[in-house]
Structure 1
Amino acid sequence: MRKLLIVLIGLQLTLSSECSILPQHIKKCRFGNTTCIRDIANALIRNFPKGIPSVGLKPLDVVHVKDTVLIDDRQEGVLWYFFQLLNQINYGFENTTIIDIKGFDEDPTSSKIIIKGQIPRLIYKGIYKAMGRLLWMVRINSTGESESEFLNFRFDFTLKVQTEYRNGKRYLKIYQLVPNVYVDRWIQWLENFFPENTDLTIAMNRIFNANWVEFWNELEKPILEVFTSVFLSMIEDIFYNVSYDDMFLSNNENVN
């Protein structure tokens, strides 16, 4: 029997931007100075939880995620399952800490860009829709609220980029993003999973929470596919709006 739920998160990062948009205390870094870049990324996350629309930095405190069909078995036979997530919202990304950044050299195509971070507590809320048949005994047809809590959520993602020129400046375009995610604990609740049997709904949620590692491992592939889409949608806006050359100090500029 499979009882499935997925976390969708989205996390956007920006490393630096035009001085006319960011406050004076946010400094630019030199290309490849990953310690400086990491510190600026953390400063932006802390100081701009509502985002900076003019540069494509989206809000971190409330993150909306597109509707997703997580499981879509062929609806035939005695064992199949369908699970969809709707109206998804995530809370807690404003508490992200970037712990390591690699890459962002003067030639961004010369090496991979790797970003690692962690979030102490990530809350996920939305609506789920489930349908299925589990042998001849159980039929599932339920819709309700879902809530998940992820403790010590860690992530890393690797970018490969190419450059394109607009108005004489270089802009980054991502052609590959590979994410990895890790959690210490996943606690969830699916409301009304068995609409006519509250006891069975409670029992199902208890089973999930007692065996959350197995469910997480089973869902690894679709989880990472969703994360890829979410990370891309957030980072691409920044790279599209802010030229790579404007993110960093040029050779003839001094640090303020």
Structure 2
Amino acid sequence: MRAVLITVIFLQLCVGLECVIELPNAVKKCHFGDTKCIKETANNLIRRYPKGISSIGLKPLDVVHVKDTVLVNDPPVGNAWYHFELVNQINYGFENVTITEVHGFDEDPTSSKIEIKGIIPRLVYKGNYIAKGRMLWMVNINSTGDSESEFFNFFFEFSLKVQTEYRNNKRYLKIYQLVPNVGLDRWIMWLDNFFPDNSDLTILINKIFNANWVEFWNELEKPILEIFTSVFLSIIQNTLENVAYDDMFLSNKYIKEL
């Protein structure tokens, strides 16, 4: 607790005194636009620092807290409607991500689109759910309980547009647009206590979901994308805020002179 407090105070002082925060020496720097090197460095950083790097604001990758999200929110009218919300969610598995492709990160980061592609073998969300509605032949739903979702071979692609701002005579990146594209091989979900008075019916509804997960994915892909995007941004935003873009890379000046 004391170490966390000291780190927070240090970061606040750095903001006030315009301190320069740099990447640890163990993180290999690449030249601007050297996407092969950037990909290798990103993967090495992920493997070496699953708990994050507090000194630069990189949050832990192995345990990520997720904001509460409403997946379905029908108006409560008529014979069939549904409200489903995920709360107190924690994400596990980002520490096992492999970056497969990187594009962009040129000396002028605004001159080209930045793209990041990767795959996560198993991504897990655990937390609680809130379900309300009317379905299944006028059956009323009003339940809460534990929830768990597992996404297998979860692959993603992010297209970023950024702008730069100057501080301490150095450039810092700001993401102003992020377009995600994701896919997966399998989704397994379990909702405890969905029918509090009928455990058999709870088991049945979970079996129905998992047997028809593709249809549910197609229906819920947009809000799930929003969750995944917010998780990704929450991991990297503080680092971009703390570490100057110019300090993340090696200058290409020497290469040009050769």
Following TM superposition, by how much is the alpha carbon of 1:50 offset from its aligned partner in structure 2, in angstroms?
Answer: 0.3
1:200 aligns with 2:216: no
Counterpart for residue 5 of structure 1? none
1:6-21 alignment to 2 at 5 Å? 21=23
- Cα distance change on mapping 1:64 and 1:253 into 2, 3 Å: farther
- Return the offset for 1:233: 2.5
Aligned to 2:130: 129
SS of residue paired to 1:81: strand
Question: Residues of 1 paired with 2:227 and 2:24: CA distance?
Answer: 31
State the Cα deviation string for residues 76-108 of structure 1 (Å, max 9, x = none). Answer: 221211111111011111111000000000000
The normalised TM-score by structure 1 is 0.88
Between the two proteins, what is the percent identity of the paired residues? 71
Matches within 5 A, 1:159-174: 159-174=160-175
2:170 is equivalent to residue 154 of structure 1: no
2:37 paired with 1:36: yes
Gaps of 5+ in 2: 1-19
Q: How many residues align?
A: 236
In structure 1, distance between residues paired with 2:136 and 2:211: 23
Q: More helix per residue: 1 or 2?
A: 2
Note if 1:65 corresponds to 2:66: yes
1:248 aligns with 2:244: no
1:190 aligns with 2:191: yes
* Secondary structure of 1:208 counterpart: helix
- Check whether the contact 2:149–2:189 (CA below 8 A) recurs between aligned residues: yes
Displacement, 1:177?
0.2
CA spacing shift, 1:201–1:210, aligned 2, 3 Å:
same
Q: What corresponds to 1:3 in structure 2?
A: none
Deviation at 1:211, TM superposition (A): 0.5
Cα separation, partners in 2 of 1:171 and 1:207, compared to 1, 3 Å:
same
The residue that corresponds to 1:222 in the other structure is 223
- Tell me the equivalent position of 1:95: 96
Structure 1 residue 137, shift from structure 2 partner: 1.9
1:142 and 1:135 map into 2 onto residues whose CA distance is 15
1:106 aligned residue: 107
1:235 corresponds to = 236
| CA distance 1:168–1:207, shift in 2 (3 Å) | same
Q: Distance in 2 between matches of 1:28 and 1:172?
A: 17
Measure the CA separation in 2 of the matches of 1:90 and 1:252: 41
Comparing 99-108 and 221-230, the one that deviates more:
221-230
| C-alpha distance 19-66 of structure 1, shift in aligned 2 (>3 A) | closer
Gaps of 5+ in 1: 1-17
Deviations 1:31-69 (A, max 9, x none): 000000000000000000000012121101111101112
Q: Could you report, residue by residue, the CA deviation over 1:152-198 in whole angstroms, capped at 9, with x for unpaired residues?
A: 11111110001110111000111100111111011111001111111
Partner of 1:50: 51
Task: Specify whether residues 20 and 179 from structure 1 end up closer, same or farther in structure 2 by C-alpha distance, changes over 3 A only.
Answer: closer
1:206 is paired with a residue of what secondary structure? helix
Aligned equivalents of 2:47 and 2:91: distance in 1? 17
Query: Residues 135 and 215 of structure 1: is their aligned pair in 2 closer, same or farther, counting only changes over 3 Å?
Result: closer
Shift of 1:234: 2.4
SS at match of 1:74: coil
Residue 86 of structure 1: aligned partner: 87
Partners of 1:19 and 1:233 lie apart in 2 by 19
Cα distance in 1 between the residues matched to 2:132 and 2:97: 35
Aligned partners of 1:123 and 1:228: how far apart in 2? 15
Distance 1:77 1:135 in 2: 13
Compute the displacement of 1:21 (Å): 4.5
Instruction: Say whether 1:22 aligns with 2:24.
Output: yes
Contact 1:81 1:132 in 2 (8 A): yes
Secondary structure of the residue aligned to 1:219 is: helix
